[in-house]
Amino acid sequence: MSAKARRIDHSTRDNKPERVYSAHMSQEADPEASTAASPYAGRGAQMYPLLTAVQIARLSMHGRKLGVKKGEVLAEPGDRGRIFVVLSGSIEVVQPKLNEEALITVHTPGRFSGDVGTLRGIGGVVRLRVREDGEVLVIDEAHLRTIVQTDSELSELFMRAFILRRVNLITSQSSDVILLGSTHSAGTLRLQQFLTRNTYPFVNLDVDSDPSVRDLLERFHVKVEDIPVVVCRGSLVLKNPSNEEVASCLGMNQQIDDDRVRDVIVVGAGPAGLAAGVYAASEGLDALVLETGTPGGQAGSSSKIENYLGFPTGISGLALAARALVQAQKFGAEIRTAYSALRLSCDARPYAIGMANGHRVRARTVVIATGADYRQLDLENASRFLGTGIYYAATATEARRCGNAEVIVVGGGNSAGQAAVFLAGSCRMVHLLVRSDGLAESMSQYLVRRIADMPNITLRLRTEITALEGQDQLTRVIWRTGPDNASETHDIGHVFLMTGAQPCTNWLNSCIALNGKGFIRTGSDLRSEDLPASKWINARQPEFFETSVPGIFAVGDVRSGSVKRVAAAVGEGSACIQQVHRVLNE
Ligand SMILES: Cc1cc2nc3c(=O)[nH]c(=O)nc-3n(C[C@H](O)[C@H](O)[C@H](O)COP(=O)(O)OP(=O)(O)OC[C@H]3O[C@@H](n4cnc5c(N)ncnc54)[C@H](O)[C@@H]3O)c2cc1C
């Protein structure tokens, strides 16, 4: 166990129940009870559906019957993939907390256990205990996947129930995973985002606003300087843990065979990588998806995507990512979260990818979908305002949010100039903030002229943002300006960052041809010298999404010339799988 991690000795605890852990303790066994206070009230029948005799008969072909006795624990949080269909007797589902447990529901004959984690083969989040003697049908993960892939009626019933159960657990804020943090700590925000985007239920306690947190810190023998602290499953205290440590503690990843050579490894689980994972797995390929952070990529940080086809009222990036993740898991793609690809070896096939934990995984083909990091402001709270005051695109969608307010555009290149001119069409005032002494060297002359001609664009040279203020929404910006670095405060709630994006290609080990800005060249974008330099030995030309190395593809924002949009990334990730098939058949 690392020095940062401590196991709690439960025997030395006093039994004083804390406010936050006692809320649900005395609920009685009503399957609908836990949903009553949640936004999912009324959806109890979908969350806990009753299987018909005909459906149970179909399920029996995929499981084995097991007699169970009152008090027997069938699963603990962290236990991996299998579901129980109750044939007789009953099973209670409880959420363990630090000192006690909350009853979530009771499964009676015809009802079944399980949630989205079961499909993914990762650790569950609840305890299942037999309440009355009886008999259950046990269905393991592999058979469950066969059912959801082949039986459309049961697939819809299971998938909807699993998703609703997880969402209900998250909204109930009831868990034995506790994050003790502060709104002023970047580490706290990172862990909140990590747990939330992985749809993991946790209790969030803030040292700044909740005096009881200090008592808890004392009880776990940790100091305020140690926060953020994660209490994992009520027994292990992790001080300022990395995402990898939290993922490992909570059993978020499958234990899988690193020696197996996959058909395809997809690196990056943004929209492009998730789409590639869904199409690869649904078409029968053995697919592994690796993700450094959390599935969803940049799109996951968008509060509302309004231009994605089929969602006329918009969809949050988080919801889109969560749906795509479940879809990929339904088809059997293995997704490892908090796993960074550190190094690509292109010299021999199968290709090998070295990971941050020292392991290597191998595959006959690789799809690179690692996207790009937009250059952010170097301020601790900047990421908090993504989509709620800080934007990376200036389209009609963002302009609508600003109305005719004053806005800031940061950057001295053409994209900043275009954004300033566009926003000046609807906003009262556009402040164009540039670090350098002028625009002549970085921006096209026609844009420089148009900016000079527009009365509601103010060019502020040698100016840099030094602080952002606001609660849920950005409300105030402080910048330093001019030769004497004077500090100015402005009540402005919209900042457009047009300072460029950095492709995530530094792990490629120089074996793939890149363009001058580090984006990956594919297909016809490859120059004649790129192929010999990468030792291209095939008679054929590279496929549209294929890089300078045969069988290695690039899709989405990381690809040179790609359209930096969700729909484009999804389209590229889906389409490239046909080319992967062609290469696998060579
Ligand atoms: C705040 C914001 C709002 C946006 N809003 C919209 C919008 O409304 N509409 C729209 O169409 N577009 C929008 N975009 C753009 C859109 O999100 C991107 O074009 C899209 O996400 C690109 O998808 P991608 O899969 O190619 O890359 P990304 O989304 O960048 O995903 C790449 C993934 O790869 C992972 N990764 C990187 N390196 C490694 C590694 N070495 N190992 C393993 N994993 C790695 C990253 O962690 C990331 O999850 C927005 C972007 C931002 C930042």
Identify the pLDDT of residue 15: 33
Largest CA distance in the chain: 82
β 372-374/390-391 pair status: unpaired
Q: Which of 193, 298, 502, 570 to mutate to test the pocket of ligand 1 (most atoms within 8 A of CB)?
A: 298
The yes-or-no verdict on residue 187 having pLDDT over 70 is yes
| Strand, helix or coil for residue 386 | strand
CA distances from residue 306 to 139, 316, 503 in whole angstroms, order as listed:
40, 9, 24
Give buried/exposed letters for 474-511 (b at 16+ CB in 10 A, else e).
beebebebeeeeeeeeeebbbbbbbbebebbbebbeeb
Q: Which two tokens stand for residue 440?
A: 């002549």
The yes-or-no verdict on residue 314 having pLDDT over 50 is yes
Closest CA to 201 of 131, 130, 123, 254: 123
Please report the DSSP string for 425-475 in residue order: TTSSEEEEE-SSS-STTTS-HHHHHHHHH-TTEEEE-SEEEEEEEESSSEE
Least confident among 26-30, 63-67, 517-521, 548-552: 26-30
Give start and end residues of each alpha helix (H) in 113-269. 116-120, 141-150, 152-171, 186-197, 212-219, 243-249
The yes-or-no verdict on residue 72 having pLDDT over 90 is yes
Beta bridge partners of 495: 390, 408
**CB of residue 354 inside a 6 A radius of ligand 1:** no
Model confidence at 41, pLDDT cuts 50, 70, 90, reads low
CA angle 237, 242, 248 (to 5 degrees): 70
Q: Whose CA is nearest to atom 52 of ligand 1?
A: 298
Q: Whose CA is nearest to atom 1 of ligand 1?
A: 302
Average pLDDT of the chain is 86
The yes-or-no verdict on residue 150 having pLDDT over 70 is yes
In the reported structure, the alpha carbon of residue 46 is separated from the centroid of ligand 1 by a whole-number distance in angstroms of 33
Gap between the Cα atoms of 178 and 341, Å rounded: 29
The yes-or-no verdict on residue 541 having pLDDT over 60 is yes
Identify the pLDDT of residue 255: 63
**CB of residue 369 inside a 6 A radius of ligand 1:** yes
**CB of residue 389 inside a 6 A radius of ligand 1:** no
Cα 506 to its chain centre, rounded Å, is 21
- Per residue in 201-249, pLDDT tens? 888 888 888 877 888 788 778 888 888 999 887 778 899 999 889 988 8
Model confidence at 379, pLDDT cuts 50, 70, 90, reads confident
**CB of residue 504 inside a 6 A radius of ligand 1:** yes
In the reported structure, the alpha carbon of residue 564 is separated from the centroid of ligand 1 by a whole-number distance in angstroms of 9
Identify the pLDDT of residue 5: 61
Nearest-atom number in ligand 1 for the CA of 573 is 25
Identify the pLDDT of residue 24: 28
**CB of residue 361 inside a 6 A radius of ligand 1:** no
Least confident among 385-389, 418-422, 526-530, 553-557: 385-389
* Residue reference for tokens 């440590």: 245
The yes-or-no verdict on residue 11 having pLDDT over 80 is no
Please report the DSSP string for 127-163 in residue order: EEEEEEEEEEEEEEHHHHHHHHHH-HHHHHHHHHHHH
Model confidence at 170, pLDDT cuts 50, 70, 90, reads confident
- Per residue in 12-33, pLDDT tens? 333 332 322 222 222 333 434 4
Identify the pLDDT of residue 495: 96
Please compute the mean of the pLDDT values over residues 364-377 and round it to a whole number: 92
Q: Whose CA is nearest to atom 4 of ligand 1?
A: 302
Identify the pLDDT of residue 129: 97
Identify the pLDDT of residue 25: 27
Gap between the Cα atoms of 9 and 15, Å rounded: 13
Identify the pLDDT of residue 391: 86
**CB of residue 301 inside a 6 A radius of ligand 1:** yes
Q: Which of 353, 370, 508, 563 to mutate to test the pocket of ligand 1 (most atoms within 8 A of CB)?
A: 370
Q: Which of 566, 572, 574 to mutate to test the pocket of ligand 1 (most atoms within 8 A of CB)?
A: 566
- Per residue in 395-410, pLDDT tens? 777 888 889 999 999 9
Gap between the Cα atoms of 84 and 371, Å rounded: 40
Q: Whose CA is nearest to atom 48 of ligand 1?
A: 297
**CB of residue 386 inside a 6 A radius of ligand 1:** yes
Gap between the Cα atoms of 484 and 525, Å rounded: 47
The yes-or-no verdict on residue 446 having pLDDT over 70 is yes
The yes-or-no verdict on residue 365 having pLDDT over 80 is yes
**CB of residue 297 inside a 6 A radius of ligand 1:** yes
**CB of residue 271 inside a 6 A radius of ligand 1:** yes
| Percentage, residues of the chain above pLDDT 90 | 50
Identify the pLDDT of residue 21: 28
The yes-or-no verdict on residue 6 having pLDDT over 70 is no
Structure-model confidence comparison of residues 389 and 456, the more confident one = 456
Closest CA to 169 of 147, 196, 132: 196
Least confident among 136-140, 297-301, 365-369: 297-301
Nearest-atom number in ligand 1 for the CA of 555 is 26
**CB of residue 298 inside a 6 A radius of ligand 1:** yes
In the reported structure, the alpha carbon of residue 148 is separated from the centroid of ligand 1 by a whole-number distance in angstroms of 29
The yes-or-no verdict on residue 174 having pLDDT over 90 is no
Identify the pLDDT of residue 184: 67
**How many other β-carbons are positioned within 10 Å of the β-carbon of residue 351?**
22
Please compute the mean of the pLDDT values over residues 378-400 and round it to a whole number: 82
